[in-house]
Structure 1
């Protein structure tokens, strides 16, 4: 947008668009959501003006602003500091706290990527255009020749989402076309190595962080061994899975999505077993971990109820 001379278009506007914040209304089509890239195309072709909504107006629609997100980050940071202090003072850490730390790895990545993203905007902004969708498709030529799957502007950027590509998707997927909204499970495309790494590391770390509880006190020896084996299984599945996905994205020159990489093996029989079998293994391991976290609360070590002595950890005279 800046290259087109529109300096007021920001990453907030782009997030707002890619979250379904803009609905395009043409005279020959029901309204449908448009992404930031599709809006850029329409503006570039002079079919419409840049949406006049400001950043302040978008944030006013959001259910949480950057202040609320900053507070959440501070709360998370304080929790991590407490856990480090407990480890330094050799105080026990519960499995519930350890599991929470593991979740924070994914939460931190989400907060990093979504810091400028409006939250839960329910009423979209309607963009009216004078030209018909039919004329836009005619002008696009061969690029728009194929029938659309999600919206008429699929030829600019398809809104491919995961559930629509899986077998039997007609049982739960949206049946209305064009789509009345952008689904939450959009199969995104990672565009560079930095994003691939920033996504893969916290995902893989989520499973491996549970291994910190290897020598924790458990109510029984059986529960301790079950925790060890399930955490090892979860770490291996997530670690290898992330490594393979990252390699596939890089090999595909950052042009593939999660379900299309490696020639779409996840959607074809029997190669999809290479994805679903580890997936079932991970799901089973994750369920065991959740159950163990809950049942461990019945017999916590006495030290879990002791507070951190901050004065012994801080420099003083």
Structure 2
């Protein structure tokens, strides 16, 4: 409590030193703006920000394949209403909320998949990073053939080491029994060379193309350019625009790492085994969570924060590929978490643009600054954790005692700051809308673009 009071007094002192903008200056600026450029309205500000946030949280996300077994003779209410609604509530809405509240995690997920796709693409002749992404996102799914369907080995040379088969004769695909998604290690390279689609065929499955991605990037870049122009002309940004600017910055990197990943693919490639074939897969080496619920809860916070949760998942037990699946990265885990955590700290730092803004109330003023500090601190802790992870991974015989102490401190700080970070994200979103009730007159000024164009 004493620390909070001390921080609050510092903030109040900073606010009093800055002082409010004199009314005469505001009136003069508004008058000059009325003569040169039209005013922008509150509706314009809200629409521009919400449309950009929507592009950065809903359109920009490239989900894994969420496989759903098909059913025979579905009623029209189930087909057109219940199933789409269930899909939205259980899969798409949680992804949207993750991108809205923890966008840095979406970026780290994209980086992990980018690195893993690059590793996989080098193991199969003729494969590209698009093939690697398709493999990671659950592009191949194991099915059982019905007992009465005859089959032959998919590759005669591997008939003794591989159980994959090709069905023969009349075969209804709705009668296939889905088993589980497949990892790269589950399928021999020779089999992948036969069954894998070409890059053009994979992109044909995508619900997005280069033009769509360029439109999203242009819209995002245009918003960023407007914010830069307002700063160059000393025009204030609203808190909602500052929040949107932070989303736009991360969105550029998310699109960069997911550029080759197909978007919104719904149906995987089917690989078959007979009823008698073994169901063993390479995912049996998954680790197990601690039995104690408190220890398990702390473990999940740590490993989900750094992106190592896939080490605890067995794909053989999954109906579909997990929502944030990237595969087991091993020594690449630290590198995959380093960059996103640094950008995550930058995401929080962008909110500091409104550090000295005029807030309608002192409570909003203090909460905004505390939230900014929290959003910078949590990714910074992850950065330190990943740095120690990288250094410790490369050392034989384990990490030294000093590094172990640093890792332990980081673990404690991660657990303590995880909830505070989420609260801070929600607080900045709420404050960005509540402050719209009392904006300074200069916030409605439009940018005078002629000042940026050389002319006589």
TM-score, normalised via structure 1 length: 0.74
Supply the distance in 2 between the matched residues of 1:217 and 1:292 (Cα, whole angstroms): 12
Per the TM alignment, residue 3 of structure 1 is displaced from its structure 2 partner at its CA by 6.5
Per the TM alignment, residue 294 of structure 1 is displaced from its structure 2 partner at its CA by 1.4
Query: Could you tell which deviates more after superposition, 213-222 or 19-28?
Result: 19-28
Query: Could you tell which deviates more after superposition, 307-316 or 79-88?
Result: 307-316
Which residue of structure 2 lines up, in the alignment, with residue 148 of structure 1? none
Alignment of 1:43-192 (within 5 A): 43=189, 46=190, 49-128=193-272, 134=278, 152-154=281-283, 166-167=296-297, 177-186=316-325, 189=329, 191=332
Query: Could you tell which deviates more after superposition, 211-220 or 241-250?
Result: 241-250
Rate the CA distance shift 1:25–1:49 in 2: closer, same or farther, 3 A. Answer: farther
Alignment of 1:12-27 (within 5 A): 12-25=130-143
Q: Contact conserved, 2:143 with 2:272, CA < 8 A, in 1?
A: yes
Supply the distance in 1 between the matched residues of 2:277 and 2:414 (Cα, whole angstroms): 39
Larger radius of gyration: 2
Uncovered stretches (5+) of structure 1, i.e. residues with no partner: 138-151, 255-261
Which structure is higher in helix share? 2
Per the TM alignment, residue 51 of structure 1 is displaced from its structure 2 partner at its CA by 2.2
Supply the distance in 1 between the matched residues of 2:394 and 2:274 (Cα, whole angstroms): 38
- Kindly indicate whether residue 125 of structure 2 is the aligned counterpart of residue 6 of structure 1: yes
Supply the distance in 2 between the matched residues of 1:87 and 1:195 (Cα, whole angstroms): 33
Rate the CA distance shift 1:4–1:174 in 2: closer, same or farther, 3 A. Answer: closer
Supply the distance in 1 between the matched residues of 2:410 and 2:243 (Cα, whole angstroms): 33
User: Per the alignment, in what secondary structure is the counterpart of residue 141 of structure 2?
Assistant: strand
Which residue of structure 2 lines up, in the alignment, with residue 211 of structure 1? 352
After superposition, what is the alpha-carbon deviation per residue over 1:178-210, rounded to whole angstroms, capped at 9, x for unaligned? 312111123653728764443222111111111
Residue 280 (structure 1) aligned to one of 401, 405, 419: 419
User: Per the alignment, in what secondary structure is the counterpart of residue 324 of structure 2?
Assistant: coil
Rate the CA distance shift 1:192–1:274 in 2: closer, same or farther, 3 A. Answer: closer
Supply the distance in 2 between the matched residues of 1:99 and 1:277 (Cα, whole angstroms): 24
Residue 296 (structure 1) aligned to one of 432, 435, 441: 435
- Aligned pairs, number: 280
Which residue of structure 2 lines up, in the alignment, with residue 143 of structure 1? none
Uncovered stretches (5+) of structure 2, i.e. residues with no partner: 1-119, 146-162, 164-176, 290-294, 301-311, 396-403
Which residue of structure 1 lines up, in the alignment, with residue 95 of structure 2? none
TM-score, normalised via structure 2 length: 0.53
Report which structure shows greater RCO (CA 8 Å, sep ≥6).
2
Q: Contact conserved, 1:12 with 1:55, CA < 8 A, in 2?
A: yes
Which residue of structure 2 lines up, in the alignment, with residue 227 of structure 1? 368
Which residue of structure 2 lines up, in the alignment, with residue 238 of structure 1? 379
Alignment of 1:251-290 (within 5 A): 251-253=392-394, 273-290=412-429
Per the TM alignment, residue 37 of structure 1 is displaced from its structure 2 partner at its CA by 4.8
Rate the CA distance shift 1:300–1:36 in 2: closer, same or farther, 3 A. Answer: farther
Query: Could you tell which deviates more after superposition, 116-125 or 298-307?
Result: 298-307
Supply the distance in 1 between the matched residues of 2:313 and 2:123 (Cα, whole angstroms): 35
Rate the CA distance shift 1:97–1:37 in 2: closer, same or farther, 3 A. Answer: farther
Q: In angstroms, what is the RMSD of aligned CA positions?
A: 3.8
User: Per the alignment, in what secondary structure is the counterpart of residue 91 of structure 1?
Assistant: coil
